[in-house]
Structure 1
Amino acid sequence: MSAPALESDRSPDSTRTPGEAGIWVFVLGDMVVFAVCFVVLAVTYAHDRAAYALDQDALHLGLGIVNTVVLVTSSLTMALAVRAARLGHPRAAVRLVAATMAGAVVFVAVKVVEYTDLVAAGHTARSDDFFLYFFTFTGLHLLHVVIGLCVLGGVLRIVRRPVLGRADLSLVESGASYWHMVDLLWLVLFGLLYTLG
């Protein structure tokens, strides 16, 4: 038998921002840092489109697409996990958070394969500006995914509780907000690195 829904779910407050205020400060600050990365990539592209396109052809578009599908799917499972937690369905929430974590692991594994193949083909951060930025920015994003795995591990411990209080739910929402940011950042990186031009 599932736990009863929180009172906030019976009469939702549409003006309440999900999660803790601190997570939104972090998310916005992080997005500003990545916005600078995106501008650097756009300037690099505008400076020498032919060289950018040549280096871009060395990337594994298929692996980039796989990782994009994995992250978008994991954002969906995380959103459903938050909904299950709000409705007092701990088993469903646990399964959905675990599925989100599995997506993160797949993302990391695919990225390691891609890095290994690129380096084996002679493309490293020392090759030129494109690959310097590629490894730096995707590496920074990969670090966010690994941190996200730790965050999701904490969320998994919370949603295993049979009853969640408001503070618990706020932490679950904060973890979800962080994960959605990771997904959004990848979508922009994918567009700029793999498909621009």
Structure 2
Amino acid sequence: MSSCPTATVSDVPSAISEASVLDTLPGYPMIWLLIFSELAAFGALLAAFSVAKALDPATFAAGQAQLDPLIAAVNTFCLVTSGWCAARACAAAHADARAAARRWLAGASLLGGLFIVLKLTEYADEIGRGIDVETSAFFTLYFLLTGFHLLHVVLGLVILGVVAWRAEPANVETGAAFWHMVDLVWLMLVPIIYLMR
């Protein structure tokens, strides 16, 4: 009569000895949970925008024609360059050059501030032309998506300011990770809202 094989300790995978996926990402793991949840929220809003556009393409084309793609392009340049500054801050923090890391974070923040000024200028122009959230389904979703993103830019600037205070590598990586999420979302918004007909 054969006996059942016995399991040894080495046969059982140990969750304690294995690093989780979050542990391999730069910065503190909790920021990645926030980033993934925010990307899911933006993904749902972009999906709603795409469905509404498919249902009423004429309204969405008319709305897009009233937007200023030049401001969107300048804002894209601001955020991408700002993301590059945040990456340089990470490199400086890892080189134990905290003063340089703070300067790069200040540059990233300055460009983020310029983004806010340009976006508010764009809103003011649109409102001055009688465009608001009730103008059409396009503008309801436009203000919702870009306004939600603008709030994330403001939050990102607060986070960059906080991590600049100590400018330790893990802190700077955490702030830069959130800031890159803000960049990524804008790079998804621009073609869908401003460019794709």
- TM-score if structure 2 supplies the norm length? 0.86
The alignment status of 1:57 with 2:65, answered yes or no, reads yes
Counterpart Cα distance in 2 of 1:148 and 1:90: 20
Paired residues for 1:64-143 under 5 Å? 64-143=72-151
Higher relative contact order (Cα pairs below 8 Å, separated by 6+ residues): 1
Alignment partner, residue 19 of structure 2:
none
What is the RMSD computed on CA atoms of the aligned residues?
1.1
Shift of residue 38, structure 1, vs aligned partner: 0.7
Cα deviations by residue, 1:47-79 (Å, 9 ceiling, x for unpaired): 122221111010111101110110000000100
Specify the SS of the correspondent of 2:133: coil
Shift of residue 16, structure 1, vs aligned partner: 3.1
Shift of residue 196, structure 1, vs aligned partner: 1.1
Percent of residue pairs bearing the same amino acid type: 36
Q: Please list every run of at least 4 consecutive aligned residues from structure 1 whose deviation after the TM superposition is greater than 2 angstroms.
A: none
The alignment status of 1:18 with 2:26, answered yes or no, reads yes
The alignment status of 1:46 with 2:54, answered yes or no, reads yes
What letter corresponds to residue 48 of structure 2 in structure 1?
V
Counterpart Cα distance in 2 of 1:91 and 1:29: 32
Counterpart Cα distance in 2 of 1:134 and 1:195: 13
Shift of residue 153, structure 1, vs aligned partner: 0.5
The alignment status of 1:186 with 2:186, answered yes or no, reads yes
Shift of residue 90, structure 1, vs aligned partner: 1.9
Cα deviations by residue, 1:91-123 (Å, 9 ceiling, x for unpaired): 321211000000110000001100000001111
Specify the SS of the correspondent of 2:24: coil
What letter corresponds to residue 112 of structure 1 in structure 2?
L
Q: Which runs of 5+ in 1 are unaligned?
A: 1-14, 160-167
Specify the SS of the correspondent of 1:19: coil
- Residues 59 and 136 in structure 2, CA contact (< 8 A), matched pair in contact too: no
Paired residues for 1:149-188 under 5 Å? 149-159=157-167, 168-188=168-188
Aligned length: 175
